[in-house]
């Protein structure tokens, strides 16, 4: 179970080639008696189980999650949320054909502030930086990222962080506690940055580590040329109350996005249809695995794609959860859940165009859904935010960044002007963090009131 949870976290951050096959009948990994349900709007069958989970705060009172065809109940910290199964108006296949980002007017440049956190000055420094995350905590903006000597996700990659009190000057980057370069069983391990978020007066940071097998590497402590299976997975979730002293949490894989709109459930959408969820807003406990219907290899063949990775999600006002995956074609893949993320339909191709890059969906306080992404091109330029009133038509777009960038240093699998955005909403502002050419780390800040 520990490895399955970490794989969901890890895969959400990686571009994987040649991933394994998912069987058309999926089963959650937690223990319990299996029951089979048929989705109201689909012909695929998904097998689910009765799930049990216990919060660390409830040693005297068991916590449980029951999955039935009508009701899902999850008890944590003496709070009970009952979620009734949704009967959708249309099938997931029909909805996928409707989801689009056809703009009602050309995109406009939004007023913004940008702040460069880090850029290597010479090849003597560690010149690979990517997987940037951002959060605001006690008046300071914190940023974490993956940092390697030369190549993407190479042996010895570590996790760095920096912070700013004025969004202008940044602290000298330091290695995040537990994120330092370490020697593993076969070589230096690869550490991959996850997410920053806040809850209960704490700042949380998540990341993971793994190793390449020696037979696949190009040399001692040199990664394989292509992505290859890894071993010795480990996940880290650490927290701080003062931004200085960090503690490693017991359990948890880190929350990949803010809680959903209706039931406040948190999701972690991974590659190849992997996903997990929890109702613990700290991300420390209560993680269970959801199930996605459909054979992923057959879905790839159907759409002529070879990649299903780097997922994210959003929830509509009626409670439907939509898992959205990056592909290696022009469009995003989608699956729907009608029982709060416990089971999903098979994925279908949408008409939402994307420029071959990682994206992130989210919600504004007024209920609108947004996506931060690279709308066109492998150059990952521009970086934009597109808005939707109904979660179907994403038709109003603002350009966040469109300045041309130039790669300064050589390295394997580098490039892309503005890559892998993540966001954090704090009061009147939204902070968007990203990498520049997988070398520099930058944050753009916009006023939410400017998102008309």
| 327 pLDDT more than 70 | yes
State residue 4's pLDDT score: 44
The model carries a pTM of: 0.84
Strands 440-447 and 429-436 come out as: antiparallel
Give the CATH number of the domain where residue 205 resides: 2.120.10.10
Q: Within a domain: residue 72?
A: no
Q: What per-residue confidence (pLDDT) applies to 59?
A: 32
Confidence at residue 58, expressed as pLDDT on a 0 to 100 scale: 32
- Establish if 85 belongs to a structural domain: no
* Beta strand ranges found along 77-180 (DSSP E): 79-84, 108-109, 113-118, 128-137, 140-148, 158-164, 174-175
**Amino acid 84: pLDDT:** 76
What pLDDT is stored for residue 452 in this prediction? 96
Q: Is residue 62 part of a domain?
A: no
**β-bridge partners, 291:** 343
pLDDT tops 60 at residue 407: yes
Determine what percent of the chain is predicted with pLDDT higher than 90.
76
Q: Which of 112, 114, 120 is nearest to 141 (CA)?
A: 114
**pLDDT confidence of residue 82:** 60
Amino acid 205: pLDDT: 97
Number of domains forming the structure of the chain: 1
State which residues form the domain around 373: 2-22+90-450
Residue 68 placed within a domain: no
Instruction: Please indicate, yes or no, if residue 79 is contained in any of the structural domains.
Output: no
> Confidence band (pLDDT; 50, 70, 90) for 85?
confident
The predicted model gives 163-185 an average pLDDT of 98
- List 419's β-bridge partners, or say none: 435
Tell me whether residue 240 is in a domain.
yes
pLDDT in tens, 428-439: 999 999 999 999
Sheet of 266-269, strand order: 266-269, 275-278, 288-289
**What was the pLDDT predicted at 311?**
94
**Average pLDDT score, the chain:** 85
pLDDT at position 377: 86
pLDDT tens digits along 240-289: 999 999 999 988 888 987 888 888 899 999 888 889 999 999 999 999 99
- Give the pLDDT of residue 276: 93
The tens digit of pLDDT for each residue in 345-402 reads: 999 999 999 998 999 999 999 999 999 999 998 899 999 999 999 999 999 999 999 9
């Amino acid at each position: 179970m520990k490895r399955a949870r970490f794989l969901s976290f890890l895969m959400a951050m990686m571009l994987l080639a040649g991933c394994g096959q998912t069987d058309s009948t999926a089963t959650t990994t937690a223990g319990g008696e299996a029951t089979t349900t048929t989705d109201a709007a689909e012909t695929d069958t998904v097998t689910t189980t009765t799930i049990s989970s216990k919060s660390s705060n409830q040693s005297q009172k068991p916590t449980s999650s029951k999955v039935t065809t009508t009701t899902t109940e999850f008890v944590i910290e003496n709070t009970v949320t009952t979620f009734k199964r949704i009967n959708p108006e249309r099938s997931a296949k029909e909805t996928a054909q409707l989801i689009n980002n056809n703009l009602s007017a050309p995109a406009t440049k939004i007023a913004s502030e940008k702040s460069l956190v880090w850029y290597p000055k010479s090849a003597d420094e560690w010149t690979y930086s990517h997987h940037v995350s951002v959060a605001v905590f006690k008046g300071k903006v914190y940023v974490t990222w993956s940092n390697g000597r030369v190549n993407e996700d190479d042996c010895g990659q570590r996790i760095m962080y920096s912070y700013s009190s004025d969004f202008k000057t940044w602290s000298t980057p330091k290695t995040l506690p537990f994120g330092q370069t370490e020697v593993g069983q076969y070589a230096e391990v690869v550490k991959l940055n996850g997410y920053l978020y806040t809850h209960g007066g704490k700042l949380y940071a998540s990341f993971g580590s793994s190793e390449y097998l020696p037979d696949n590497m190009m040399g001692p402590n040199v990664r394989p040329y292509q992505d290859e299976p890894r071993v010795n997975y480990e996940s880290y979730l650490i927290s701080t109350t003062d931004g200085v002293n960090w503690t490693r949490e017991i359990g948890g894989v880190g929350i990949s996005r803010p809680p959903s709109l209706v039931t406040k459930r948190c999701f972690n959408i991974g590659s190849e249809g992997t996903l997990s969820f929890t109702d613990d807003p700290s991300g420390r406990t209560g993680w269970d695995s959801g199930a996605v219907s459909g054979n992923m290899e057959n879905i790839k063949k159907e759409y002529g794609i070879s990649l299903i990775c780097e997922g994210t999600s959003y929830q509509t006002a009626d409670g439907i959860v939509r898992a959205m995956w990056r592909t290696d074609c022009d469009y995003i893949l989608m699956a729907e859940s009608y029982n709060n993320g416990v089971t999903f339909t098979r994925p279908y191709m949408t008409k939402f165009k994307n420029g071959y890059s990682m994206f992130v969906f989210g919600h504004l306080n007024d209920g609108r859904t947004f996506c931060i992404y690279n709308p066109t091109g492998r150059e990952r330029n521009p970086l934009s935010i597109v808005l939707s009133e109904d979660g179907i038509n994403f038709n109003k777009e603002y350009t966040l960044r469109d300045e041309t960038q130039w790669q300064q240093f050589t390295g394997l699998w580098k490039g892309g002007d503005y890559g892998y955005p993540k966001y954090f909403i704090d009061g009147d502002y939204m902070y968007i963090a990203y990498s520049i050419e997988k070398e520099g780390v930058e944050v753009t800040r916009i006023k939410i009131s400017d998102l008309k």
